[in-house]
Structures are given as structure tokens and as C-alpha cells.
Amino acid sequence: MESIPGMVTASRLKTGVHIPRPEIAAPRGCFNTVATPHTEFSRSLLVEIERGCPFKCRFCTVGYERKKIVEMPPDRIAELVRCAEEYHLRFGMIGSALLSSKIWKTDRHVWDESTVDFTFASLRADKLHAGNLKSLARRQRSLTLAPEVGTPRMMKLINKRMDLAAARERLAEARAHGIKQVKLYFIYGFPFELEVDVLGIVDFCKDAVGTGLRVKASLNPFIPKP
């Protein structure tokens, strides 16, 4: 046990010896080992595609946990996709910036040629475009997006750096490509938030409904983190 890098045991603590934290160069295969039809994510292989995030949103810890993003090697992803095919599972991709991932851009054949159904963690609406929307629509009929707030003013305050106008346009394009439903995540109760900012969330949802999409909105209170 004590030979494992980074492992802390009672006997090692007593020695007072500094135990260095192991450097993880890339996700080494973090995925669930049990896939059952009796859970929320039924019959799904959920795989961590990346760790970290390039977008330093002020309310989120993920972008500050490590200095740079690390991504699962493409050959390992392809291997896990084949595993999902073998056991007839859906392939769920987990990450904070999936549409910015180099893997998505350079290894499209993994997604386009496989017979498995792919699902995605929440995506940045402004990073959607005709190419990936077309590919997404072939695999699923719903999207999960996280605008977080509803006005440019709040975007600036939380350092979200997302163009709300572009996000609205992407929703209309998603409907045109065959996406049927969108789930939107929002946070309310930020410091310096005004009533007009809360109403901006309502306006964004109205615009999403106006595209013809079925809209589910999740509103959650801001919880400060040290």
C-alpha cells in the first residue's frame, strides 16, 4: 500500500515524512465499472474525457483546480468506445469544456463511425456550430446547456465570457438540425444581482421556447465556496 505514489497511511504519517502528491499527466481511465438499467444513467458507460477547464468562471472551482487541462488519450477513448459497443451501453462523456476539447476536433471518426449512442455533460452554447450540431443530432435529440445567468452584465461579473446573443442563435440552429429538447441550468442569488438580471433568465427561456424546442430549466441558488 505504501509503495503507491501519493498513498497516505497511519504509519507514514507518524514518520513526519513529506508525501509528494503524484502528478497526473492525463485521466487514466476514470469511468464507472457498473452499468445497470436500475439507475438514473441506465446502461451507460460514463467516461471522464478531461479534467480542468479553460474558462475561469468566478463561481466554479473546476477552472482553478489545476494549471492546465488534461485530456484522456484518444486511443484510450477509442478503446472505451469499443467496450461500450461490446456491452451495448451508451457512452457518456464527462467534462467541463467538451466542445473545446482537442479530442473532439481531431478524432471525429470515433464519434461519427461508432454505433453507440453518445451523451454529453452540459455544453457551452456559444461553442456549438453547424458541424458539431449535425454530429450531435445524429446521436441524440436533446442537449444540456449551462448559460448560468441571463444578462451580459452578469456574464461579466461572474467571468462567464459567453455571448448570450450567439447562444440564442445556436438554440435555433439546434432545432433546425433535429434537436428536440434542451435543458438549461441557471444560478440565481449572485452578489450584485439585480431584478433585471433575474428577469433576463426568464427572457432567455422564453427565447428558447420560441425556437420550438421543449425547454426544461433548472434554477439553483448561488452557494459561496472558499
DSSP string spanning 191-209? Answer: TT--HHHHHHHHHHHHHHH
CA atoms within 13 A on the CB side of 182: 32
pLDDT at 22 over 60: no
- How far apart CA 183 and CA 214 sit, in angstroms, is 8
Predicted pLDDT of residue 139: 73
Contacts of 143 (CB under 8 A, 6+ apart): 120, 123, 136, 174, 179, 181, 182, 183
Cell 441550468, residue located: 185
Predicted pLDDT of residue 13: 66
Residue 146 is inside which H or E element, if any? strand 142-148
Q: Where are the alpha helices (DSSP H) in 68-163?
A: 74-86, 102-106, 108-113, 130-139, 152-158
Predicted pLDDT of residue 201: 97
C-beta separation of 169 from 163 below 8 A = no
Mean pLDDT (the chain) is 82
Predicted pLDDT of residue 151: 96
Number of neighbours of residue 100 by Cβ within 10 angstroms: 17
- For the stretch 152-194, pLDDT in tens is 999 999 998 888 888 898 899 889 888 899 999 999 999 999 9
- For the stretch 72-85, pLDDT in tens is 888 888 888 888 88
Predicted pLDDT of residue 23: 56
Cell 452578489, residue located: 191
- For the stretch 118-129, pLDDT in tens is 888 888 877 787
Q: Where does the pLDDT of residue 108 fall: very low under 50, low under 70, confident under 90, or very high at 90 and above? A: low
C-beta separation of 152 from 201 below 8 A = no
Predicted pLDDT of residue 141: 80
- Alpha carbon separation from 20 to 6, 8, 137 (Å, rounded): 6, 10, 45
Predicted pLDDT of residue 3: 67
Q: Which of 2, 51, 52, 53 is nearest to 28 (CA)?
A: 51
Predicted pLDDT of residue 193: 96
Predicted pLDDT of residue 197: 97
> Strand, coil or helix: what is 154?
helix
Most confident range, picked from 93-102, 109-118, 148-157, 175-184: 148-157
Predicted pLDDT of residue 70: 82
Predicted pLDDT of residue 205: 96
Predicted pLDDT of residue 226: 64
Q: What is the pTM of this model?
A: 0.75
pLDDT at 102 over 70: no
